[in-house]
Structure 1
Amino acid sequence: MTKTIHIKLNKKFYSIAALALFLIGALIFSLVYFGVYNVSALTGHTTPVYKFLEHARIQAVDARIDDEVPDLSTFNWQTSGIANYKRHCVACHGAPGVAPEPFSLGMMPPPSAIVRVARQRSPAELFWVIENGIKMSGMPAWKYRLSDDEQWELVALLKKLPTLSKSEYAQLAQKSTGTGSNKAIKDIISQTPEEQALAKPTSTQQSAGEALSGQVAMQQYNCSSCHVIDGIASATYHVGPPLNNMVNRRFIAGTLPTTRENLIQWIMNPPHFKPQSLMPNLHVKRHHAEIMVDYLYQIADDNQSY
């Protein structure tokens, strides 16, 4: 008798819980479908949404970080680290005595206060966020743009920032001008496609780690903003042709015969081969272009198999 009552109570509890979840889901769907939830960045997120996003970020990072951290004192944060921070980070996060750019002040969610972040988060957490970015914010992933050493230089700098005065940061920032990775970036941009073709990954480990990441590379270079690409979610409207069967076309943009090497060269610098092309030079690295082309061949094979 007692067991029967217990089973009935369990069934009633699960039925009520399922109904409650259904009603909550229906409410959220209605708020979105009928445009009740305001997406305007003028109003910001509601407290529940903000807390949900923050909790999701914390849990996701904690579940994925690697606790193995190199000795930060061995990284050149004083020149190369600050040079990259000035180029990529200060516009959104600011620095001691340096305000973020006006556009970042209206971002939702707003970029974190860098000194607070540097104090509260471990080096492993900082590296993960720098490398992977946060898709629910404006924080980009730097995996395909900066080497591991450059990312660790930024981590080392971030851990030092809370101890720097306004004048100390200004002095270091001034010294870093024209040095470190900024020069390396300028050198790469000025290279011809032939010179870029000789560029290889800085380490075999990096090359192996990216061997199966063509899909991610195409996402990180924002190819899907202009092209339909299988396996990559994107906007509804596009300005360029779909790439799903690109490798089986006779010519690339009506200019180059379609071969693997020509596709790589085209991705690296389209205006070099067709100056009037609307496709800009995104300064795609050689090994990134290679895995992107590999992915184009993969999705073309998948399409032909159906």
Structure 2
Amino acid sequence: MTLRLRTLVLGFVAMLLAGVVGGAVLVYMGFYDISAMRQHTKPVFHLLDFAMARAIDVRADAVPPGDLGEERRVRAGLAQFQRHCLQCHGAPGVAPEALAFGLTPAPANLLHAGRTWPPSEIQWVVANGVKMTGMPGWGWRLSEEEIWDLVAFVQAMPRLSPRAYAELAGSLPGTAQAAAPVPAPPQPAPDGPATRPGRVDAGRFATQQYLCATCHVIPGVVGANQHVGPPLGGIAGRAYIGGVLPNSPENMVRFLRDPQAVDPLSAMPALGLTEQDARDIAAFLFTLDKVEGK
């Protein structure tokens, strides 16, 4: 080994040891905030997201047992979805339950996975779960057939409007018929006159707590890499909200609190925002006056 090569190897080893020691010191000091109220930092989020994608890609090799588009399989998958998945992931026009708002990383909106993931990868995640995300593995609790039914429904869900989802859900045995979207959660009473003006920093934080980044790409918000709804970069300069309501802070608050009262066809569910949280989020959104990449 030449002197130069030996120096390079020793330098690399020294850098590696320094990184390990430095990481150990930061862990020991409690430097990294593990609170579920705070999202991961960008480097940690992207590392974990990449590691998950690669792990799934390497392991997901199951072959679907026949046509996943069969109506009987989709309906059976919807029944499983309502029992085991709706609480965290929501559905077209239906918000997740309260427990989902306290999870970090935020539970994914499955419309994106249904559109873009191959069935083998959806099947692997349902069967095995994902560590440190709150996503359980259902492989010991559901049969292989039931897991594939779930895959079938997840792949069908992006084609369902809120009304179509509600009608399909209402047609399942043991449920009442439904001709309209599933009712939104009760809205909290408006805050009193002492409600303060919206704050940008509080609004950015609230977008994470209400899982906004599971559907929208939001500049400055970690984890916002899903394209279920439109990206929010430049939303301050748009003429209309949801294509129907003139864009203003007051109208933004109105839309955020009850989207389907503004547009009955909107797939965005009512999330139970308080008046104050809606004002804060509107204040933050009206700082987003530039479209990313432009």
TM-score above 0.5: yes
Are 1:127 and 2:115 an aligned pair? Answer: no
User: Could you say which residue in structure 2 is the equivalent of 1:14?
Assistant: 9
What is the CA distance between 1:169 and its match in structure 2?
0.5
Which residue in the other structure is 1:40 paired with? 35
Match of 2:134 among 121, 134, 138: 138
3-state SS of the aligned residue for 1:27? helix
Aligned partners of 2:75 and 2:153 also within 8 Å: no
Bigger relative contact order, structure 1 or 2 (CA pairs below 8 A, ≥6 apart) = 2
Deviates more, 1:98-107 or 1:138-147: 98-107
Q: Which moved more, 1:145-154 or 1:63-72?
A: 63-72
Shift of 1:170: 0.4
User: Helix, strand or coil: the match of 1:176?
Assistant: coil
Which residue does the alignment assign to 2:159? 163
Alpha-carbon deviation of 1:177?
Answer: 4.7
Contact 2:60 2:121 (C-alpha < 8 Å) held by counterparts: yes
Q: Residue 9 of structure 1: CA displacement?
A: 2.0
Contact 2:62 2:123 in 1 (8 A): no
Are residues 13 and 83 of structure 1, via their aligned partners in 2, closer, same or farther at CA, if it must alter by over 3 Å? same
Equivalent of 1:148, from 140, 144, 151? 144
Bigger CA radius of gyration: 1
In structure 2, the residue corresponding to 1:40 is in which secondary structure? Answer: coil
2:57 aligned partner, one-letter code: D
Cα distance per residue 1:100-149 (max 9 Å; x no partner): 11221221111111111211211000000000000131110000111011
- Which residue of structure 1 lines up, in the alignment, with residue 77 of structure 2? 81
Corresponding residue of 1:178: 174
Please show how residues 153-302 of structure 1 align to structure 2 within 5 Å.
153-178=149-174
| Structure 2: distance between partners of 1:133 and 1:70 | 21
Letter in 2 for 1:100: P
CA distance in 2, matches of 1:8, 1:158: 59
Deviation of 1:70 after TM superposition, in Å, equals 2.5
Q: Percent identity?
A: 39
The AA in structure 1 aligned to 2:117 is: R
Cross-structure match for 2:96: 100
| Letter paired with 1:59 | R
8 A contact 2:74–2:156 mirrored in 1: no
Equivalent of 1:90 in 83, 86, 92: 86
Q: Report the Cα distance in structure 2 between the residues aligned to 1:16 and 1:177, rounded to whole angstroms.
A: 68
Give 1:29's aligned residue: 24
Return the alpha-carbon distance in structure 2 between the equivalents of residues 14 and 106 of structure 1.
46
Deviation at 1:166, TM superposition (A): 0.5
Name 1:207's counterpart in structure 2: none
TM-score (norm 1): 0.54
Q: Does 1:50 align with 2:73?
A: no
Shift, 1:67, TM fit? 5.1
TM-score, normalised with respect to structure 2: 0.56
Query: CA RMSD of the aligned region, Å?
Result: 1.6
Deviates more, 1:160-169 or 1:60-69: 60-69
- Paired residue secondary structure (2:7): helix
Amino acid at match of 1:55: F
Tell me the secondary structure at the aligned position of residue 171 of structure 2: helix
Deviations along 1:48-69, one digit per CA (max 9) or x if unpaired, are 1111111110111111111522
Matched residue of 2:57: which SS?
A: helix
